[in-house]
Chains A and B, each alone.
Chain A
Amino acid sequence: MEILVCAKRVPDTSENEIELNSAGTEIERDDLVYSINEFDNYAVEEAIQIVSRVGGAVTVVTVGIDDDEEILRREMAMGANHGVLISDDGFTGCDGKGIATILKAFVEKAHYDLILTGAQAEAGEAQVGGMLAAMLDYPFASLVTAVEVLDTKKLKITREIEGGNKEISEIDLPCVLSIQTGINEPRYVGMRGILQVQSVPIPTFDAAQLNLDPATVGETAAKVKRVDYFVPALGKGAEILKGTREEVAEQLIELVSAKGGLK
């Protein structure tokens, strides 16, 4: 089975505090540590596991800039067979539909039986997989938590639905699935593994090679634009307890007791 995984390099929120620039238009990106979007990492692991069961190859693709090669190499160190970078100055300012359009152009150059994306990335939009499937007229399922290959034409999949319930379906190939975290346990990637793939060439495609006019996918075509960032003010905010650790613990016990929280 030929599997394509669409991945994205994102600021790693476990390594960084996300700060605004002084104008409030962007986050401070200078010293950010980036890593692969966590959801995408689960998708790559799932693809590797499927291929180890039924054969085939895993290609990881990202739409981005040269620095994004880093995540492609990381996923190749995990076991993905190929990495592909799609990059063009004209792609700056793409919205989700723009990214899906670029990916569609790439998919149409090759043949993939199965396309995986992470369920969402740092912006929580959860949109590219569903858009890509609609553009290709492939079946789609989101929030997938289990994949079983039934035969060369179909999969049995589990979707996560409300309340911890699971929705089981059959889906025809080729299809697009958005993968939810927890579907597997992504393997550890050490520095050594990354060094081993350090010199593997990564093919790069630009707009012309994909027969795309940047005017149809980049900033001018984007219908959805982020205007600024700001720190949300929900509710009144918590009363922050102050003092030594011991004092804070005592204050908290008093407050919790008053609410019936101690037996």
Chain B
Amino acid sequence: MARIFAYISHKNGVADDVALELIAAARKIDPGAPLTAILTGSGTEIDTACESLRHSFTEIWKISSGALAYPNAELVRKALARILPRGSFVLVPHDHFGVDLSPGLSIKLNAAFVSDVVEIEGIAPPFLKLVRQEFGGQLSTHVKCDVSSGVVLNIRPGAFKAADVAVNGVVIDKSSEIGELSCGRRYLETVAAESGDVDITRQPVLIAIGRGIQEPDNVSIAQELADAMGAAVCCSRPVVDAKWMPKSRQVGTSGKTVKPKVYIACGISGSFQHLAGIKGNPFLVAINKNPKAPIFQVADVGIVDDLLEFLPELTSKVRELAGAGRK
């Protein structure tokens, strides 16, 4: 059985929580296979991150270099391609970094690549059987992957339940094995997200709108409901792409992470990128005219209706109730 490696990101010395999910994924491939965490970075930050993983991994490879102080996937890929044994299984979180790193890494390692893996069904050499999703989560597929020359798997964060593990691992310094690193893409700076007029991360009740809102003029339909309920309006990516709402209102992996008590998703299909931005297990209501929208699988309550018809009805009912309450 080949070795399994898990690439772990870290920030300010704190390892990404997804590390424990990658351990769970590795166990599903082969619980007996040796599993090594691999980290790149520099200075005390990577030292602290590696140290913190000793309770989770029996072996941690540290690649420390000034060139890797910022996680530039172009440089990280070169370092990994030099150091990873051929035929390895490499697990990477399917996030903004993994999308940047992994497809090219699989080419450099001459390994297979499967992106955005949500389940691992097991291995029957030379094939690994995996589950992915297509069409924004509307359909799943079983994928058979020939892993005889190794594989890079991008694992969807949140898809695997964090492993329960307690070991006493060792950090192995591999820094001297990577040599000089340079690439044609140079990191300059990070620009922080705009804060916007309404802080959706602090709202207990959110009315979220998606592609189903159809027209910019219809945003007011959601705003009227929000006003009646004392809630705020947020949205999914297509609404921001169309410039109907500012980026500061976007919920999801590339937007804000929200923790409301109640989340009413209107005309949102429920891509994993959007759902990943909803934390704290709110009461989730989905309103969508497509009964097969993936959002209905994760919502508490569903309403199959056209939001452009349903929301005004709901708004007038809420107002009626508020009026009755005042009397």
Binding site for B on A (CB under 8 A): 11, 13-14, 17-18, 20, 27, 96-97, 100, 119, 122-131, 133-135, 138-143, 156, 158-172, 175, 178, 181-182, 185, 223-235, 237-241, 245-246, 248-250, 252-253, 255-256, 259-263
B185 within 8 A of A: yes
Beta-carbon contact of B184 and A139 below 8 Å? yes
Question: Which of B96, B104, B231, B314 is the one whose CB lies under 8 Å from A134?
Answer: B104
Of the 9-residue stretches B44-52, B55-63, B111-119, which lies at the interface with chain A? Answer: B111-119
Whole-angstrom CA separation of A124 from B98 in the bound complex: 13
Whole-angstrom CA separation of A261 from B203 in the bound complex: 11
Across the interface, name the chain A residue whose C-beta is closest to B273: A124
**Which chain B residues border A260 with CB–CB below 8 Å?**
204, 261-262
B30 within 8 A of A: no
Can you offer 13 A-B residue contacts whose CB atoms are under 8 A? Answer: A18-B139, A161-B97, A163-B256, A169-B185, A182-B237, A234-B297, A238-B286, A240-B301, A255-B283, A255-B301, A256-B283, A261-B229, A262-B230
B28 within 8 A of A: no
Whole-angstrom CA separation of A260 from B286 in the bound complex: 17
Q: Indicate the member of A124, A134, A245 with the most B CB atoms within 10 Å.
A: A124
Can you name 9 extra interface pairs (CB under 8 A) apart from A138-B184, A159-B100, A226-B141?
Answer: A131-B113, A168-B191, A169-B72, A178-B99, A224-B145, A229-B141, A232-B297, A255-B301, A262-B321
Interface size on B, residues (CB 8 A): 100
| A164-B247, A249-B313 given; A96·B185 CB < 8 A | no
Question: Which of B99, B299, B314 is the one whose CB lies under 8 Å from A249?
Answer: B314
| A142-B100, A163-B256, A225-B144 given; A238·B313 CB < 8 A | no
Across the interface, name the chain A residue whose C-beta is closest to B284: A238
**Which chain B residues border A163 with CB–CB below 8 Å?**
193, 254-257
A-B CB pair tally, cutoff 8 Å: 272
B188 within 8 A of A: yes
Question: Which of B77, B184, B302, B317 is the one whose CB lies under 8 Å from A238?
Answer: B302
| A162-B253, A225-B143 given; A141·B283 CB < 8 A | no
Of the 9-residue stretches B19-27, B165-173, B304-312, which lies at the interface with chain A? Answer: B304-312
A106 to chain B, nearest CB (A): 17
Whole-angstrom CA separation of A171 from B184 in the bound complex: 6
| A13-B138, A134-B107, A241-B303 given; A226·B143 CB < 8 A | yes
Whole-angstrom CA separation of A78 from B290 in the bound complex: 31
**Which chain B residues border A20 with CB–CB below 8 Å?**
139
**Which chain B residues border A232 with CB–CB below 8 Å?**
133, 137, 139-140, 294, 297
**Which chain A residues border B95 with CB–CB below 8 Å?**
162
| A139-B74, A141-B185 given; A234·B298 CB < 8 A | yes
Whole-angstrom CA separation of A141 from B73 in the bound complex: 8
Beta-carbon contact of A238 and B301 below 8 Å? yes
B180 within 8 A of A: no
Whole-angstrom CA separation of A165 from B257 in the bound complex: 12
Across the interface, name the chain B residue whose C-beta is closest to A153: B184
Whole-angstrom CA separation of A256 from B261 in the bound complex: 10
**Which chain A residues border B36 with CB–CB below 8 Å?**
none
Q: Give 10 closest A-B pairs by Cβ, nearest first.
A: A130-B103, A164-B193, A238-B302, A263-B230, A134-B104, A261-B262, A139-B184, A182-B241, A172-B184, A134-B107
Across the interface, name the chain B residue whose C-beta is closest to A104: B107
Binding site for A on B (CB under 8 A): 72-74, 77, 95-97, 99-108, 112-116, 129, 132-147, 149, 183-194, 204-205, 211, 229-231, 237-238, 240-243, 247-248, 250, 253-257, 261-262, 264, 283-286, 290-292, 294, 296-305, 309-310, 313-314, 317-318, 321
Beta-carbon contact of A238 and B296 below 8 Å? yes
Interface of A, helix, strand, loop or mixed by DSSP:
mixed
**Which chain A residues border B303 with CB–CB below 8 Å?**
240-241, 248, 252
Whole-angstrom CA separation of A178 from B261 in the bound complex: 36
B122 to chain A, nearest CB (A): 13
Whole-angstrom CA separation of A245 from B310 in the bound complex: 7
Question: Which of A142, A164, A182, A259 is the one whose CB lies under 8 Å from B99?
Answer: A142
Q: Indicate the member of B77, B184, B248, B310 with the most A CB atoms within 10 Å.
A: B184
Question: Which of B113, B144, B261, B299 is the one whose CB lies under 8 Å from A227?
Answer: B144
**Which chain B residues border A134 with CB–CB below 8 Å?**
77, 103-105, 107-108
Beta-carbon contact of A165 and B102 below 8 Å? no
Question: Which of A231, A245, A250 is the one whose CB lies under 8 Å from B140?
Answer: A231
A69 to chain B, nearest CB (A): 24
Beta-carbon contact of B241 and A253 below 8 Å? no
**Which chain B residues border A164 with CB–CB below 8 Å?**
193-194, 247-248, 250, 254-256
Whole-angstrom CA separation of A158 from B188 in the bound complex: 10
| A124-B133, A163-B256, A181-B241 given; A17·B290 CB < 8 A | yes
Beta-carbon contact of B301 and A140 below 8 Å? no
**Which chain B residues border A140 with CB–CB below 8 Å?**
73-74, 100, 104, 185
Beta-carbon contact of B310 and A249 below 8 Å? yes
Across the interface, name the chain A residue whose C-beta is closest to B271: A124
